[in-house]
Structure 1
Amino acid sequence: MGKVKDFLGVMAEANKRLQLDAEVSHKDYDIEVLTGNETEYIEMDLMLGVADLHTPEAVAAAESAITNSQPVISLAASSTGLDSEDGSDDDDDNSISSGDKFKKPKLGGDDSNSNDQPKKRPKIVELQ
């Protein structure tokens, strides 16, 4: 506990010194104005959410992340994966009712989409 109190004392003293220095030469401490005389700087190239998607699987994964849904393994066989999973439970009478337990609730109440077709996902456009 004593070390923490000592550290806080040192920090308080350093903050006072910094405040006094900033009042005297405020141009040296203004981080929003660049004069061109800066010796060190950090360049941040964050791409603002734009990613290089080189494969169809990467595009599908990014699109599913946007919609918060499960990722699609293959673009060509996106609907066949659902058919093969449901086909193994066709003999069971409870397959329809048990499948309804795991469906996400619809927010808009729009029943125009059929259950056989996957939801339309927003497309990702690659910028060049």
Structure 2
Amino acid sequence: MQIALWQLYRKISMLKTVATFSSWLFRIVERECYRLFRIRNSENIDSGFDFDSLKTAYTDIDLKIDLINAILVLPIIYREVLILRDIREYSSPEVADQLGINVEAVKSRLHRARMLIKEKINSRKLSSF
């Protein structure tokens, strides 16, 4: 997740419209998950990814903190769907089975979670001007 947030920070200037933020963020997280999956499969890593070994040169850590806080302050019903679907890459039916809800509820909660994160980030951007 941290790497995805770092990618977002580095490439935020490439975002053309705010309306595409949630799908853009999803694609960054998705690509990072696939990258980690490939690393784990190719090297047979049993432990978690070692984020401390990465070189990090943040000039502005505020965006990273804002994104993490936006995810952390989500109500639990939205946060758990977001993590299972976008981070752990479970399918909607798998998430529905795990949480004991229907697929439509998964889609609705996921959409709401992404919108809440987008609103939180946008309000932070506006208050910093």
TM-score by length of 2: 0.25
Q: Name the larger-Rg structure.
A: 1
- Whose RCO is larger (CA < 8 A, sep 6+)? 2
Between structures 1 and 2, the one with greater helix share: 2
- TM-score if structure 1 supplies the norm length? 0.25
